[in-house]
Amino acid sequence: MTDPSAYVPGLANVPAAESSVCYLDGSIGKLQYRGYPIEVLSDNSTFEEVCYLLLYGELPTPTQLADFDAELKKARNVKFRIIDLLKTLPESGHPMDALSAAVAAMSMFYPGDHVDDADYRNQCVIRLIAKFPTIVAAWQRIRNGDDPIKSRSDLGHAANFLYILSGEEPDPLVARTLDVALILHAEHQMNASTFSARVTGSALADPYAVASAAIGTLSGPLHGGANEEVLRMLQTIPSKNPGAVRAWAEDRLARKQKISGFGHREYKVKDPRATILQKLSQQVFEKYGSTPLYDVAVELETQMEDLVGQKGIYPNVDFYSGILYDKMAIPTDLFTPIFAIARISGWLAHLLEQLGGNRIFRPSQIWTGETDRSWIPPSDRR
């Protein structure tokens, strides 16, 4: 048991909430949403169904899912003034900053009482899940000098995002692949951005402020963005030759440099999400052709298992997701916004749970400074 008076850097393993949203046992690679294994959900569910499960605690009936899906589709469009706001931002800005700005502005367009008005709170949830993809796709097009594309009600959440991003209806395999990737990224217990969401929500800030705070946390390179770094890292490995890959890894480890996509604070085995993403990648590559980066990645995983597997360092979810998105022709700096498109469902599930028995977060600290110091006149200071 952790000594309550002891300082724990990063609050590692310090419980911050009681939750029934996500169960994780990293020692055996078990990840479950509301008690359902991630492997089962990725095989059988859609992202929309998983959103419903996370938010409301149970799998929806066909009627409930149809109604929920209809609500999401109806809420996809973004206010033209928010589009105008995006147009004022510098094209060189990162998409996460554009997403954060647009989401923060949403509270001004949709005021209400999310604390006592359950209907309004639910409308906020629907709007945020529905509009995240629209904002990300709109920014991508605006910064390239193109007009945003209107959503199609005949396409699901993932397929519609790919359509409004490129203007082309995606192949069903590609759409389903992104759909599963969204499921895998939808929730992951008390990670940094979810903690930010719960802290902000505990102050009774509105859901748009909660989402914006979580986006800001996710934008940090120690949280989101790791799959971008994996892609850049793999491009520096000279070849897929086992000897060359091993030499590269040994050199990196000897210099105590991080090898992106490996290791996770929670997992001591291969991240179950990485296993699923690798299988998805193989399906896409079988149809559209592989990429040299995938071959390098597979060899790197083999060499790393031999070098550091005994330390519990294995691929995490970021290791294969960037390779997959790259093959789908998604710009690298949109990888983390896609993470946010998925994770907004988890953030909101935790917000609803927080509001159900709220107490504002107010942790303690360990004082390390001086006390009772005497004031010194300016003329006597040295």
Annotated catalytic residue: which of 179, 271, 318, 326? 318
Token output for 149: 């594309």
Annotated catalytic residue: which of 264, 271, 326, 350? 264
Convert 234-255 to b/e letters by CB count within 10 Å (16 or more is b): beebeebeeeebbebbeebeee
Angle at 208 between CA 207 and CA 214, to 5 degrees: 90
Contact 215, 224 (CB under 8 A): no
Position of tokens 């109806």? 74
φ, ψ for residue 339, nearest 5 deg: -55, -45
DSSP β-ladder status, 22-25 and 36-37: unpaired
Active site residue 318: yes
Beta strand extents in 167-242 (DSSP E only):
none
Active site residue 97: no
Q: How far is CA 222 from CA 169, 225, 232, 264, 318, in A?
A: 34, 8, 16, 11, 12
Q: Quote the CA–CA distance of 217 and 323 in Å, as a whole number.
A: 23
Q: How far is CA 232 from CA 138, 259, 296, 323, in A?
A: 26, 11, 12, 10
Token output for 56: 């409301």
Position of tokens 């296993």? 275
Q: Give SS3 for 219.
A: coil
Convert 282-314 to b/e letters by CB count within 10 Å (16 or more is b): eebbeeeeebebbebbbbbbebbeebbbeeebb
Enumerate the active-site residues: 264, 318
